[in-house]
Amino acid sequence: MGKKEEYLPLYEKVSLKRTYNRVIDSFILLLLFLLLRYRLISIKNTFTIPSFLAFLSESWFTFTWIVILNTKWNPAATKTHIQLLLQRVPDLPAVDLFVTTADPILEPPIITVNTVLSLLALDYPANKLACYVSDDGCSPLNFYALCEASKFATLWVPYCKNYNVQLRAPFRYFSEAANTISEGDSLQFKQQWLQMKDLYDNLSRKIEDATREPILFPLDGEFEVFSNTHPKNHPSIVKVILENKEGVCDGVPHLIYISREKRPNHPHQYKAGAMNVLTRVSGLMTNALFMLNVDCDMIVNNPKIVQHAMCILMDPKKGKEVAFVQCFQQFYDGIKDDPFGNQWVSAFEYIIRGMAGLQGPFYGGTNTFHRRNAIYGLYPDEMENERKGKILMQQFGSSKEFFKSATSALEGSAYSSKQISPSNFIEEAIQVADCAYENGTSWGKQLGWIYGSISEDVPSGLNMQRKGWRSEACTPDPIPFTGCAPGNLSSTMIQQKRWTSGLTVVFFSKNSPIMCSLFGKVQFRSGLSYCWLTNWGLRSVFEVTYAVLPVYCIITNTNFLPQGLDLWIHVALAVIYYIHTLIEYLAMGLSIQHWWNNQRMSIIRTGTASFIGFLSAMLKLSGISDTVFEITQKEQPTSSSNDEVDAGRFTFDKSPVFVVGTTILMLQLTALFIKFMGLQPSPTSSNCGNGSGLGELICSTYLVVCYWPYLKGLFATGKYGIPLSTIFISAGIVYFFLLCVNLYPYYHLVLVSE
């Protein structure tokens, strides 16, 4: 290797030039400031409650746009150099792989199995990998599926590496037309392809049969530990399913099953608790200096992704400051044109690439490579220092073996692959997986994944960046991981509500971006960019307010928007914004329908799921009730014609989320009915001059168009219809609103006369 190559970085951060976006985004901000100026002058001349509420909402929208503009200003992409890594680091570092699952019904075992098989087959020395599966549902089905999959893995892993298979999740590999055998293939390949196809079909059939009929296998032998267990009440279970005892680099990595102890009266801290158990158990058994965590549906799409991530983490100059490497979430089963707005293509391209140009992207909860000593609380400036004397055993818990491994990790030394034997640490692993192990320790506070929110990812990432660490985005081609996108409206709403609830709690906690910027080392612009996430809940309050204002003004024949030519700011703002975002979508190769679906769902999600999530967070913060963790259903795609017909259609249930959406729609319909039937009162000088105008009418009509699927749901039946109970509740809320609106002038006159 020449001297020039010795100084070449293992990765580069490339700034993306987007001058046009900067100009238009800045012009939109200018229009927002002009809007606020108009609103202040209007309020000064004639103060009304609608105008004041509009001012508050528009102020928040302006702040939100400042956050977006700040985030999008310096987009960046990373370029990694694998060949340089292999030349400079012939002995690649070990990586522990974490997979989390919690419910065998909502997260079918066959999906988890495919994720695990794709990880076991990574293009990386097998003796440097260990895969840990956390089963928070304590399901014998998951353990059975992994045991059966381990037998298949001994043939699947060599097959993938021998034939350089790109898609290493079997169900994806065999379902792709490009991966079928052809006349030009060798006889040996054809035979092995057919053999692997038959073996996988048998594996899939076994797992699906066991899922339908759990009594097919008795709870004895290896399964005896699952007898008399309940998902929320069981002891710790740790099983070594596969063990690469010889440390063979071309064999199959370790595979370990973990179900941490749970007891009814002991808080289990949701996914954060599971991740901390995985960290401790892996620290005992393999203690790799780097860790990858993925959700159970996130299969490997680029088998060289570990090498790409190591280019960033092992870079001799910039890599030492990187705590975690984030790969974007992308989906293999996304419905065409994203009808539910849950594929986040635009957000990844513009928002997260923008954060990558600052202190780094947020931790997204999956598809993330972590530096173990950063998870253990190390500061980046302590990387070169010995910290053994600074740490206390009490911080890490009572296990001497684990404290020894943690000290080793903090000093940057890893186990030799020949020394690793996970089965030798079963007893210690069970101890550190017990629910009482963390009592009196720093887990969930200064160490590991941070507790206090059901969105454990963002505060955990902020906790590391608060100490001065950076993060990097890893975006090789092909994309690293692909997963299941929520396949229906209910799953999308559950996911959005959970995210909003957790992120709102983060915003009001000590781990908020504001606190981390004021009292930590999170850069100001980076902390501001986090507000795009953590303020989803607060944004929903102002969007719901803005949705109700035109209804109130139409019913009372008042206005909160200017009339005549004075409406030009609002019109210009709306037209420029929508044309600008449309151009952004078209530039990414997306369709106009995709753009409209995302615009519509942004309105629906924010006004419904985010609003309910915000209320849930407020109840938690006030101590009235705790947040309920709801798992998003994972569905393996099928090729049935019924699924293709139903794809993208809105389905409804009795969730409170749909009550909010139905209420907003019925309010708009009521206002429009009153407007067109001429049932409004006559305008007077005391209720805003000339009464409601074109602006209020356009706003209300636009919301009806956005909620058009709800309007269809009012008249549909079955799962495509809004339940009668939801309609009645919404009608009651609308009636109460009308009652309050009609009584308001009376109370206003009474107060004025007094």
Residue holding tokens 């519509």?
Answer: 600
User: Rounded to whole angstroms, how far apart are CA atoms 565 and 570?
Assistant: 10
DSSP conformation class of 302? -
For CA atoms 554, 556, 560, 566, the dihedral sign is: positive
Spatial neighbors of 126 by CB under 8 A, at least 6 apart, are 120, 157, 244, 248, 249, 250, 251, 252, 253
Spatial neighbors of 484 by CB under 8 A, at least 6 apart, are 111, 297, 331, 332, 333, 634, 635, 636, 637
Catalytic residue check, 103 = no
CA angle 202, 203, 204 (to 5 degrees): 90
DSSP conformation class of 148? H
Q: What share of the chain is helix, strand, coil (3-state, %, to 5)?
A: 55, 10, 35
User: Rounded to whole angstroms, how far apart are CA atoms 285 and 275?
Assistant: 15
Query: Which of 136, 315, 333, 338 does the annotation list as catalytic?
Result: 136
Q: Are strands 290-295 and 368-371 parallel, antiparallel or unpaired?
A: antiparallel
Cross-strand partners of 101: 135
Binding site, annotated residues: 107, 136, 271, 295
Catalytic residue check, 136 = yes
CA angle 8, 9, 15 (to 5 degrees): 120
Largest CA distance in the chain: 97
Residue holding tokens 């009464």?
Answer: 691
User: Rounded to whole angstroms, how far apart are CA atoms 28 and 22?
Assistant: 10
Phi-psi region of 380 (alpha: psi -120 to 50; beta: other; left: phi over 0): alpha
Residue holding tokens 């803005």?
Answer: 546
For CA atoms 287, 293, 295, 296, the dihedral sign is: negative
3 state SS of 624: coil
Cross-strand partners of 256: 132, 240
**Amino acid at residue number 102:** A
Binding site, annotated residues for UDP-alpha-D-glucose: 107, 136
Residue holding tokens 């990694």?
Answer: 80
Spatial neighbors of 325 by CB under 8 A, at least 6 apart, are 309, 312, 313, 368, 369, 471, 472, 473, 474
**Number of CB atoms found within 10 A of residue 54's CB:** 24
User: Rounded to whole angstroms, how far apart are CA atoms 208 and 113?
Assistant: 12
**Number of CB atoms found within 10 A of residue 6's CB:** 11
Phi-psi region of 337 (alpha: psi -120 to 50; beta: other; left: phi over 0): left
Report the Cα 25 to chain-centroid distance in Å.
Answer: 26
Residue holding tokens 């975690």?
Answer: 324
Binding site, annotated residues for Mn(2+): 271, 295
DSSP track, 666-703: HHHHHHHHHHHTT-SPPP-GGGTTT-S-HHHHHHHHHH
User: Rounded to whole angstroms, how far apart are CA atoms 286 and 301?
Assistant: 25
Phi-psi region of 344 (alpha: psi -120 to 50; beta: other; left: phi over 0): left
Instruction: List, by residue number, the catalytic residues.
Output: 136, 457
